Amino acid sequence: MKATQVQTAQQTPKHYGITSPISLAQPKEADLVLTQKLIETLRPFGVFEEELELQRRILVLGKLNTLVQVWIREVSEAKNIPSSVIDNVGGKIFTFGSYRLGVHTKGADIDALCVAPRHVERSDFFSSFYEKLKEQEEVKDLRAVEEAFVPVIKLSFDGIEIDILFARLALQTIPENLDLRDDGLLKNLDIRCIRSLNGCRVTDEILHLVPNIENFRLTLRAIKLWAKRHNIYSNILGFLGGVSWAMLVARTCQLYPNAVASTLVHKFFLVFSKWEWPNPVLLKQPEDCNLNLPVWDPRVTPSDRYHLMPIITPAYPQQNSTYNVSASTRAIMVEEFKRGLAITDEILLNKAEWSKLFEAPNFFQKYKHYIVLLASAQTEKQHLEWVGLVESKIRILVGNLEKNEFITLAHVNPQSFPGPKEEIDNTIWVIGVVFKKMEGPENLNVDLTFDIQSFTDTVYRQAITSKMFEADMKITAMHVKRKQLQQLLPKVAIQRSKRKASVHLKKVRIVRYKLAIASYKFAILSFLAIASLNLAILTFFLRIACSEGRIAKFKLAIARKKSQNCKFITRNSDFETCNCEFISCNSDFHFFSQLRVLKSKLRVIKSELKVIKSELRDMNLQLLEKKNLNCKMKKSQLPCFIFYLLVEMGFPIFDSNCPTQYLKPPLRVCYIDISSSVL
């Protein structure tokens, strides 16, 4: 009986998440091939770190951990802690964020937490430990931010950027095997220590709540890269941050526990393009530890009911990691989810490559109207502080714009740019704006003065309250149209869009060459049909040639349309986008090699045409008239007959937009006598 129970328990798969999985299907061979292609596509983007760099990070963290333990011993001795306790006092550096999840990229920083016993104060961390760090030769750019919401020390240790938080536990010593997921550790802690511990606790919970960590990591690398390339990766600006993307991927892994990364990426877009927000995303059922800490609960807290895209952290106290999301940013992300689903559908059907998913859209061609924010300060240090404050408040401006009755959407680009070169340092942010379509021909004047002024007043007020404001710190906002952006943005951003446009024009050239080839094929088929001495075969061949010509001309029209910055209305969307899809410079298309191949094909076809025409000159046209045509047609009239058939079948004889040198040979066949000049 016991043996049967053990066997049943072994056969029952572990359950992940708050619901049962959608599918338990095992991966197929095609899924494994697509996953390998995904890895190869991700490598050029630098999402995988070299082994030597990883070992260097481990070495740096080891040095920092030793430094923490030495510092805690010194503090303990200064506070007359018994020697028996000092020998085992411990102290440890924990990591969290992307490094702890195992998805950090080349050159990424490390989020760390210094855990100390109860007799070590926070003031010790920002005084004696700060001084100890200053004495280390490897430490550069050391700065303390003690008054932040989560106090932190920032530094560069041997070239690696590290942010160190501090938490004091209610323990006499810190054991080496301490598990921070234990809710009992939160007892008798102040709120700042709880906030500091939250990062590690959430990260560890995520790793314990996914069925396959390696599949989770690879999928998260792909999704984070996609989000950054599509300008929707920024918690502070109202999009999603790293931990939020990790929780969405973790939920996908729970719903498809046996799937590999290629399938999980597709299912990610499938699940969250159809998710009914504001229903929350939960990795586990919330637990109440009776510690009277505030948790996310819309039944108890009225403000939680207004969160638009709640993604709830799995560790106690549960919080919404996306409280900054606004109506505009949610609409933008949902639309990107739908586009991602369409692209991954094509990839699974082998109609597209993974590189298409990571093509970056041109934000500066997407909208007609933009608001440009310019933050400036006199010195580099003032500028760094000022830019940080302004960036943290931009979401207030987005909220003000959303409340305007004439504005449908406000999309802030997470990437900032250096402003025009002047005597002072300045930084630019760009916000794309979509105005409502008004009925009637009259122009609409929208006054944004109040929206912008209330935002700037909030920023100045915050700067004065935090005692960081200086007279030279300024922030200005202006409305510009798309064409005016080149006067404000650096040349790098503008050149990027021009380069993409030029690449797309090369594709138009390729399609034009293909149209020319189709025209030459028509000429060859025409002469072959004449040589066959059969009018029915002639008509059949001409229909084939005309079909090829129509297809080539249709492709050319599509290519021309895509090469212009025209408007497209996105399907299943309630707002307009001016999104011109350009071919990415990182794509697999080799334009010049394609052009060389097409030119060589043209030369071969020209030579074939000459050979066929010379053979036709020697043919006896009287035999042609007697056998099949059943009509008396002079040889000078035969080309006119071909031309008549072409016009009747709708073949594109005349194309003013196509270069004349491409279409001359086929056109000349229609007008000259067969016995006359050579092509």
Catalytic residues: 98, 109, 111, 163, 224, 233
* Euclidean distance between CA atoms 108 and 47, whole angstroms: 10
Residues 182, 179: Cα–Cα separation, whole Å: 6
The type of residue at 472 is D
Residues 6+ apart with CB under 8 A from 577: 366, 367, 434, 567, 568, 569, 570
Q: Where are the beta strands (DSSP E) in 404-473?
A: 407-412, 417-418, 425-435
**Can you tell me the distance from the alpha carbon of 393 to that of 200, in angstroms, rounded to the nearest whole number?**
27
Rounded Cα distance between 303 and 294, Å, is 12
Helix (H) / strand (E) element for 22: namely none
DSSP-derived 3-state class of residue 225 = helix
How many CB atoms are closer than 10 A to CB 433?
22
How far apart are alpha carbons 347 and 341 in whole angstroms? 10
| Rounded alpha-carbon distances, angstroms, from residue 102 to 203, 220, 222, 557, 571 | 10, 10, 13, 47, 37
Residue 432's φ and ψ, nearest 5 degrees, are -80, 140
Q: Which alpha helices (DSSP H) does 532-578 contain, by range?
A: 535-563
Give me the half-sphere count of Cα atoms (radius 13 Å) on the Cβ side of residue 658: 26
CB atoms < 10 A from the CB of 52, how many? Answer: 7
Burial of 546: CB neighbours in 10 Å, binned 0-12, 13-18, 19+: buried
